[in-house]
Chain A
Amino acid sequence: MLKTISIYLSENPTLRYWIVRPEWVAVILLIISIISSIQLSPFFADLAFIMDSATPYVEYGLIAIILTLIIISGEIDLSIASMIALTAVIFGTAYNAGLGMPISMLIALFSGTLCGLFNGILVTQLQIPSIILTIGTLTLYRGIAQSLASDFSLGGYPSWFIGIDYRYIGIVPIPVIIFTVFAIVVGFFLSSTIYGKQLYLIGTNPQTAKYSGIKVNRIKLLLFTLSGLVCGIAGVLTTSRLAVARFNMATGAELEIVLMVMLGGTYIFGGRGNIFGTFVAFWIVVILRAGLNVARIKIESQLTILGAMLIIAIILTNYIYSKSQK
């Protein structure tokens, strides 16, 4: 039975293209988590509750979208959480130095961009594997944030700035709107433009990409820089949500963000994956986290469950890719 299906699929590449896709794993996991959450508490049938639960994760979600592009192109950026903290701390420091809100924000975004550019230059020019290099800058950026802010919480922002997670359009919190629009735009870019196509080619075989005239290094540099910029945006959003900036914000968040990307079916060795998967995986994490909170499972134990899910996702993704590769 399975064999006939797989033969049938290999003879119909277009059909296979639509069916043998790891993001279906994410969709199934999402449905399972919704159903089991509703069993836990009727709140989960309420869209507004789910939306509200999503706001704390939007910053991670935004970065997960960019990280999806980076992983598809065969690299990884683990310094993302540190860049959130560093840009937030720079933002707080600038504002407290009296630079005013618009300029402080610009400085935060600019410093994030610079951090990303630095990652990109080292990865592409020195040919250092990004997994090693960004573990280095993970420590470096967090360290700079700590020396800037020590153990102080940088606060004192105007009230219009604080609490972006409590602003709504209809029942939808503004951060969720930002995330959704961003996902749609990047998803469209990745699936329909030549630049998106080239990311897949680079991730599949960087050598062939180079020999095909694709500007591999320039594109990777751009991706890392973009990652820094989005981390800057996330840093400002987080500060708005928490009303303070601290050096230890988003500690360990890089793993949760990688989890979103991988849960969404993006292949860790590059060349495959998409934004839809990451988008679905974002909601899995949101519902799971909220559900575990409702079920009064301690934060410490929640990590165990997320870790187990990640491993399942990796195994299934790899299995599906090995099948589609025949």
Chain B
Amino acid sequence: MQLKTNNIGKTFSGVNVLRNVDFDLKPGEVHALVGENGAGKSTFVKILSGVYTPTEGKIFLDEKKVNITSPIVAQKNGVSLIHQEPQSFSHLSVAENIFMGHMEGNNFSRVKWQDINNKSNEILESIGLKIDPKIIMEGLSIADQQMIEIAGALSKNSKVLIMDEPTSPLTPNEVGKLFDIVNKLKSNGMAIIFISHRLEEIRQISDRVTIFRDGDLITTKNINEVSNEEIIKFMIGRNIEEIEVKENQFIKNDEYILNVKNLSLSKKFKDISFNLKKGEILGFAGLVGAGRTEVAKSIFGAEKFDEGEIIYNGESIINNSPNEAINNGFAYVPEDRKQMGIFGPVAVEDNITSAIPKDISNHIGLINSKTVSKMTNDYINKFNIILTSGRQLIEELSGGNQQKCIISKWLLSKPKVLILDEPTRGVDVGVKSEMYEIINKLAEEGTAIILISSELPEILSLSHRIIVMREGKITKILNNKEATQEKIMSYAIN
């Protein structure tokens, strides 16, 4: 075995993100890792490449136990990580990038440029790449930069190459080129770990596949012995009976409040069309990077869009800024709570009333602090927000209570269309179920809700309909009766 792990586990501040991973990798093998976001595969390869140190377990390279304490140690032991987005020094030459960190100098520590350029040339030729090692990195395509990162790994005599979603930034043509190189390396005896969400590619390039789920290594199979459906089943694997599928209840009000037609933004999303009724919860499922957040931001006016039309209450509108969107009756609870959701070192009451300046001040702008406290206290009681007083700084609250404050803030603006982007991320189970109650109640009261979530059970239990996105496009719109985790995953993946 080139690489073997025994009982690897990792705990972050008390949370077990990886458990008992027994994994092995043969020389001359391409071994694919798959799993949902947060399944543990990234944590695992970060442990192998020295970014994280494991909380428990052993790693063996060439049957010898090693302690990989840093990326440098990993590289010295012949393990190299190829990043999804190439990590290059764009103002340095190709050769410098290849030999970054292990350039040889002469007796006066002057870099032996001739040597390095020649060696770079050799390595590039060995993988069939025609690039002058003296040119500057900047201006090369992502694909070429990735190849150069691979060349860098070769220059360190790596025996194990870990590729973290290498194909996601590449065009189909470039993927073909990459696979040629991978096959060449493989025939030279390189052991390769290959992470991808695209099952077709995995089928094409790898010998074995290992599936992760919720921090556990579920199984390892030969790729010929397992079907795509089986892989997806292993990836999801939850006890499906646990999830209470929402009754496809009759939505009384049958009028469409929002009609999105062919919305496109270059490189982000394309041809997004859907409609939304009053009182409907429309789930947006997909992997991270599928373009769901970008669509939401464009509708909310925080980003522009290139083409398409948004029809709201029967009229075509464009929200040029969040300000316009809010005035039109939109609200957006962002995914990144800390960066876009809260004003950290600011009192809770000022956070909660930050989107409704006109409701808390008179015609010359004087703030009515009684109104502010009253509104705040109403929601503190209504949502059971745990704090000492409305004057407490919001950053001192727990994540769940912060999220309740943000929801309160947006409900005060009385939205007609409420966009929730990962509303329960980083929120504990108790608050989660309270949040679900709030969301359901809002819908019953007639608010149209767009729910973006990466948690399939959440999407399934809350949504009336589910839109699945992949790589910037809608791949399927499912009714909640027909939707299952397997179906959603299969549309989200390939």
Contacts and interface: CB of A to CB of B under 8 A. Distances in A.
Interface of A: 10-14, 17, 192-195, 197-198, 200-201, 204-205, 207-215, 271-272, 321, 324-326
Contacts of A17: 347, 391
Contact of A211 (B340, B346, B367, B396): B340
Contacts of B364: 193
Contact of A210 (B302, B342, B360, B365): B302
B367 A193 contact: yes
Contact of B365 (A10, A195, A209, A214): A195
Closest 4 CB pairs of A and B: A193-B365, A194-B361, A213-B326, A13-B391
Interface residues of B, number: 37
B340 A208 contact: yes
B345 A271 contact: yes
Contacts of A215: 321, 323
Given A207-B340, A208-B339, A213 B365 contact: no
B395 A325 contact: yes
Contact of B334 (A10, A11, A211, A271): A211
B393 A325 contact: yes
A102 to B, nearest CB: 30
Contacts of B346: 200-201, 204, 271
Interface string B301-337: 0100000000000000000011101110000101000
Contacts of B343: 201, 204-205, 208-209, 271
Contacts of A194: 357, 360-361, 365-367
Chain B's interface: helix, strand, loop or mixed, by majority?
A: mixed
B104 to A, nearest CB: 40
A12 B357 CA distance: 27
A12 B388 CA distance: 8
Interface of B: 300, 302, 321-323, 325-327, 332, 334, 339-347, 350, 354-355, 357, 360-361, 364-367, 388-389, 391-393, 395-396, 409
A324 B340 CA distance: 22
B322 A210 contact: yes
B367 A205 contact: no
Nearest to A272: B345
A214 to B, nearest CB: 7
Q: Give the interface centre of A10, A201, A212 by most chain B CB atoms within 10 Å.
A: A212
B366 A193 contact: yes
Contact of B367 (A10, A192, A214, A325): A192
B9 to A, nearest CB: 33
Contacts of A192: 366-367
A217 to B, nearest CB: 9
A204 B391 contact: no
Contacts of A14: 389, 391
B326 A11 contact: no
Nearest to A17: B391
12 contacts: A10-B396, A13-B388, A13-B389, A192-B366, A194-B357, A205-B342, A207-B340, A208-B342, A210-B321, A210-B322, A213-B322, A213-B326
A195 B366 CA distance: 9
A114 B451 CA distance: 46
Nearest to B358: A194
Contacts of B334: 211
Nearest to B369: A192
Contact of B355 (A213, A324, A326): A213
A18 to B, nearest CB: 10
A211 B350 CA distance: 15
Contacts of A200: 346, 350
A11 B342 CA distance: 21
A201 B409 CA distance: 14
A267 to B, nearest CB: 10
A11 B355 CA distance: 27
B322 A212 contact: yes
Contacts of B321: 210, 213, 215
Nearest to A205: B343
A285 B324 CA distance: 45
Contacts of A208: 339-343, 354
B323 A214 contact: yes
Contacts of A326: 393, 396
Contacts of B388: 11-13
B332 A13 contact: no
Nearest to B409: A212
A288 B433 CA distance: 61
Contacts of B347: 13, 17
B341 A197 contact: no
Contact of A205 (B302, B344, B365): B344
Given A17-B347, A201-B350, 18 more contacts: A10-B396, A13-B347, A13-B388, A192-B366, A192-B367, A193-B367, A194-B365, A197-B367, A200-B346, A208-B341, A209-B343, A210-B302, A211-B334, A211-B341, A213-B355, A215-B323, A321-B345, A324-B345
Contacts of A12: 388
Contacts of A13: 347, 388-389, 391-393
B354 A201 contact: yes
A142 B25 CA distance: 68
A11 B343 CA distance: 20
Contacts of A210: 302, 321-322
Nearest to A198: B357
B354 A214 contact: yes
A71 B271 CA distance: 43
Contacts of B395: 325
Nearest to B325: A213
B421 to A, nearest CB: 11
A213 B323 contact: yes
Contacts of A201: 343, 346, 350, 354
Given A207-B340, A208-B341, A325-B395, A197 B325 contact: no
